Amino acid sequence: MDVTLDNGDPEYAGLQKAKELVDGFQDVDDKYPTISQLNMEGEDAELYVNETDVPPQRHQFGLDTEIEQQLQQVQVHSMQGIFSDIQRAWMTVDSQLYMWHYSGKDFCCYQELEEVIVGVGLVRPKPGVYDASIEHLLVLATPLMVYLIGVDMRMDESDVGEVHLNPAVLHTTATDNVCFTCIVGTPDGRIFMGGDDAAIYEIQYERDDGWLRRKCRKVNHTRNLLSFLMPTIVTQTWGVRAEPIRQLVLDPTGTTLFARSDNTITAYRVHGGSLSRACAMYDERGRADPYRPGLHGAIITIAPIADNQIVAVTDKGLSDALRTERYQNKLITQHMPPTQFVLLTSAGTFYIEDRRPVDTLAYHFEHGHASGAARFFQPAFPESVLQGLPPFQVSIKQQAFVREASAAALVLACNPPPGVSAGQAVEALRHHGGAPFHLNRPAVFQQHSFVGQPEQEPDLVLSGRHDAVFQLIGRVARTFHWKRPLLGAASAAASIGDPAVLSSSLALMDGLQRVLVAVYDKVEPIAAPIGGKLAPRDEERASIYTASVLITYVQQALRLWAILTQEPDVFTTLAGDLSSQERAMLESISFWDLATTREGNRLARTLIEKMLMRLVRANESDTFSRRTKELHDACPLFHSSRAMLESKAKEQLVRAEQVLATPGMDAAAARKEASRYLTGVVRDYQRIFKDDNTTRGLADICTRLLKLEHWEGITRLVLTCAELERLEPAVTYYRRGEPPEDIEGMRANEERELCYEQLRTMLTELLGRALQTGPAQQQYERDLHAQIAVLNSPFLEDWLQRVEDKYSDDPKALREILSLKFDYFREKRNAKRLAETACQLARLSLESQSRYMQGADAMGTAQHVAQLLRTLRDMKRAAYHQEQVIRALDAAKDAAAIHQQEANAAIVQLNSRLWPLDDLLRRFSEPFRLYECQLAQRLAQGRITPKEHSQIWHNIVQQTWQHASRIPGRDTLEVVEEVMTRLAEIMKPLRDDDTEAPSLIAVWMEQYLAENGTDTMVVVDKLHKIAGYDWSFLFNLYCKLDVEQQQQFMLKANRPLHLVRVLAGILKCWKREATRSERLSLHQALSITLPELIAKAAAEGDNGLKSDLAQLQL
């Protein structure tokens, strides 16, 4: 089934409802960063994580005997650490490195170096530099050199696998007397090292040497020019000492690098090929600037805990450092693998897994504790918590507890660990997941309470397991919800999250679909009875169906993205083939919207089409067929059966184009070969139109067939669409004289008319070509009439009659239609209708009959019809503007702005006939100074210069200002508000045509307010509320106004912060009213513009404005 997201589609409405529920539960998770804050402040976390009867999960393994022996033989230096990516512990002894699994298995060593190892790091390589078998690089730093060594991870039946270290060094670079003790790598293969000279270096490596650069080199990202000019001996002699970098840490996204020295933590932004300093924190004991953020105590170590966030450990305890996001409680991430704390000591390796609610429930299932599993779903709130609460609030708290317990059971049902079956979790959900119920709220909590009105119906509260489904969807999607798909070619595949996490998310969603069927027996749409409501249980089942639809869209979008980004370079090419608008959408749209909105659906289909067409043009037929099937199997919502057939047809269409464009090929042979392809194209599209019972796509394919001169194919496709079963009411509509009450027939008729438009376009093209042949035109016209007359379609006679009625007052057009009808009835041997048509032709004048017998000017007729259609459109447009002029004259006459007698005479003229736009402008709008009408008419004509445009708006403003100031003694602000209200009303209908008006009005009005010393939001408020411009547009508009020219004017008016205050008001309103989809653009606006506005306020000494702006920071 070909699914398209449409506002009127019930499935789309259900999808949006499901998204709203998911967003709501995500907001709940964001609101309570710790378990103890969930639903009630100060609630004991043990209510949600009850571990009193569950032992902790601890694992301990001793050291290998050989490692113990080597530790006793250390001569110079020894280091140790953890490679969490491959679950290995490591240790160096002088120039040797030892590595083993946490469990003590898979022991290996590297003994190829002769120098002492002072720094160790495990990183991922850049794509395309090494063979695919090398999944990691071991980076070893010595006092003299830095070595890159290949690591091949081979998995076996166990979870341990085997690590193979390539003895040959892949890349090397000199240290230049800098000691590197800390090394980290980004997900896209960049390698950073911290030196004892307080600088951060990057190892840049390629497959081969370039013309002007070596294939492996180190680049200093943090030292300035002065440090390069000062020799090391000078800095040592003068006592210039820098703090060595002791530790480098990357946040989980790989976009922020944290560097720790003895007294400082510095954050750097990692973007593109650069590294830029973001901010820093210092040890309070040695810092000179009291306004810089500080740490309490000496820094011992730092550790990443979330995106763009670390925690620092000092000798005084833990300190939050450079924290940009809040912690998340265990409930939000319990569907993911548990957090492991790995410790390497002299006694061996041991790690502890963090205990979560889902682990507690799994323990009960594994050991058959039915009573423990039942208690897991039963809240036991302390009396101090429930004391004094009304019953409905107690019910809400109990519902939240059951929801969280059900979420844990859902995780186990979707992905049961060893010893636990999915059936146990499903049964627990069935018996303990709750049921929907009605909740009566007190009158004080109802929105309205009026005497005589019926009491508000009780709220329907769905079960805890229902809410847990939507909550779990939100938690699974949290890793990629707001990710943007395009972040660069090298990281396109990983731009929406870690591939391993996304793979587990897909598996969890697959399991969730199965669990929904197991818990609710079957998941299908349920419609409410006419005039009635669904029962509570059916209401819940209907809501669960929307959850299933949402899961399906997200799953298929993830699979589609995996296919699109299999080859990052190819994906970059596809993105480059998009239009500028589509590319901007691709770079800004969140993955959540890509998967579930109409715009995202269209963008995904466009990317699929670009990818398949690239394969077609590259003559990769086998890859094309395989990729088309792969797309249909993985994401049928985005590449349906219709899309598969359409892709095949487009492939054949391109093949035909390529054949016809082949140089040196015989024209007749090329046309024959192309015809073979085009016959298949027409056959496939006929099947598409019939199977889907739709005409969507007819215009596009007919346009391409027209360029290839495949006239027969266009005719067949048009008639196929016109004969669709869905359009049969159009026939009855024709024969009944097109009654206005037949809405269904009217719509079918309009769609059929669009189909026939393609046929008329083809005939016009053919007639145009016939005109170029000169004497052969008349013979061509006769041949064309004969071809149309023999068409075997029941719709042709109705169409001829309809066109005859339409042009009954036009002798020239009527003559052509009657001649075609005459040929048609003669071919069909319909004597009665043939005689009737002959009588109609006889009624024409002798001159007309003579011209008809000699052969009518067919091309002239086609031009006449086209000209008539254009004339009708021009008449409709002129009628609108003529009514506007009449209304303006009436208003001016009542206001005594023009002479009443002259106005009445002009109105009589206007009501006498329809005037062209040029006459309206020249004879009425300009002489009577109807500036609003002048503006609309000039814009409609498309002939207005910037100077004329500015002058007309200036006249409108002056006229409006005079009208608003007619009452003496009015306050300036009242006058400005009335003027802006009227100007915004004028701008609203012209918003799409007049793009320069907001800038003109804003400049003039803000200059006037600044001169009068008035700071107000009245201008932007009217532009937003009345004219309909959104806050994003107004923000960009006023940013452009705040340039040198406007700033100089404000300085002369002694109001240098006037525009700054308006921008602050715009940002405040935008932040308050921003939707979830606007948060990214708002965040960018605040991060880029807000510091400049704060700096301007500080420079002018306006602390109040500075404080207001500071409160807007995210």
Taking only the tens place, the pLDDT of each residue in 1049-1077 is: 777 777 788 888 888 888 888 888 887 77
Q: How far apart are CA 715 and CA 709, in angstroms?
A: 12
pLDDT of residue 451: 37
pLDDT of residue 239: 43
pLDDT tens column, 546-560: 999 999 999 998 888
> Around 331, how many Cα atoms within 13 Å sit in the side-chain half-sphere?
32
pLDDT of residue 1089: 82
Q: For 34-48, 643-657, 1086-1100, which range has the lowest pLDDT when averaged over its residues?
A: 34-48
Average pLDDT over residues 756-785: 66
- Over 60: is that where the pLDDT of 850 sits? no
Domain-located, residue 69: no
Average pLDDT over residues 605-609: 88
pLDDT of residue 233: 46
Strand partners, 59: 351
Q: How far apart are CA 351 and CA 61, in angstroms?
A: 9
Domain-located, residue 112: yes
Contact between residue 649 and residue 624 where contact means Cβ atoms under 8 Å apart: no
Confidence of residue 995 (pLDDT cuts 50, 70, 90): confident
Confidence of residue 342 (pLDDT cuts 50, 70, 90): low
Average pLDDT over residues 119-129: 90
Contact between residue 713 and residue 705 where contact means Cβ atoms under 8 Å apart: yes
Domain-located, residue 149: yes
Q: How far apart are CA 716 and CA 723, in angstroms?
A: 11
Domain-located, residue 246: yes
The pair phi, psi for residue 676, each rounded to 5°, is -65, -45
- Burial state string for 214-233 with b = 16 or more CB within 10 A and e = fewer than 16: eebebebbbeeeebeeeeee
The CA angle 977-983-989, to the nearest 5 degrees, is 135
Enumerate long-range contacts of 1004-1009, CB under 8 Å, 24 or more apart: 1004/954, 1004/957, 1005/976, 1005/979, 1005/980, 1006/1041, 1006/1058, 1006/1059, 1006/1062, 1007/1049, 1007/1053, 1008/976, 1009/976, 1009/1058
Nearest to 1028 by CA among 993, 981, 991: 991
pLDDT tens column, 153-204: 887 766 778 888 888 888 899 998 899 989 999 888 899 999 988 899 999 9
Supply the range of the domain harboring residue 914: 857-944
Contact between residue 758 and residue 698 where contact means Cβ atoms under 8 Å apart: yes
The CB density around residue 789, as the number of other CB atoms within 10 Å, is 17
- Over 90: is that where the pLDDT of 147 sits? yes
The CB density around residue 160, as the number of other CB atoms within 10 Å, is 17
With a CB cutoff of 8 Å and minimum separation 6, the contacts of 182 are 119, 121, 193, 194, 245, 246, 247, 248
Indicate the residue among 278, 297, 316 that finishes a domain: 297
Average pLDDT, the chain: 77
Q: Which amino acid is at 228?
A: F
Domain-located, residue 896: yes
Contact between residue 265 and residue 258 where contact means Cβ atoms under 8 Å apart: yes
pLDDT of residue 341: 61
- Over 60: is that where the pLDDT of 779 sits? no
What domain count does the chain have?
2
Element (H, E) at 638: none
pLDDT of residue 473: 92
Contact between residue 331 and residue 404 where contact means Cβ atoms under 8 Å apart: yes
Distance, CA of 656 to chain centre: 36
Confidence of residue 793 (pLDDT cuts 50, 70, 90): low
Q: Residue ranges of the alpha helices (H) in 330-489? A: 357-366, 370-376, 383-386, 391-414, 422-432, 464-477
Indicate the residue among 263, 297, 331 that finishes a domain: 297
The DSSP annotation for 45-91 comes to GGGT---TTS--EEEEEPPPHHHHHHHTT-SS-EEEEEETTTTEEEE
Q: For 318-322, 892-896, 1000-1004, which range has the lowest pLDDT when averaged over its residues?
A: 318-322
What's the N-to-C CA distance of the chain in angstroms? 44
With a CB cutoff of 8 Å and minimum separation 6, the contacts of 556 are 595, 634, 635, 636, 637, 638
Domain-located, residue 676: no
Domain-located, residue 868: yes
Average pLDDT over residues 679-698: 89
Indicate the residue among 268, 297, 326 that finishes a domain: 297
Q: For 138-147, 293-302, 984-993, which range has the lowest pLDDT when averaged over its residues?
A: 293-302
pLDDT cut 90: percent of the chain above it = 11
Q: Which amino acid is at 512?
A: L
Q: How far apart are CA 404 and CA 469, in angstroms?
A: 10
Q: Which amino acid is at 702?
A: C
**Burial of 121 from C-beta contacts in 10 A (0-12 / 13-18 / 19+):** buried
Domain-located, residue 4: no
pLDDT tens column, 192-243: 999 988 899 999 998 888 776 788 999 888 765 445 444 544 444 444 456 8
pLDDT of residue 872: 45
Instruction: Look at residue 283 and give its three-state secondary structure.
Output: strand
With a CB cutoff of 8 Å and minimum separation 6, the contacts of 44 are 36, 382
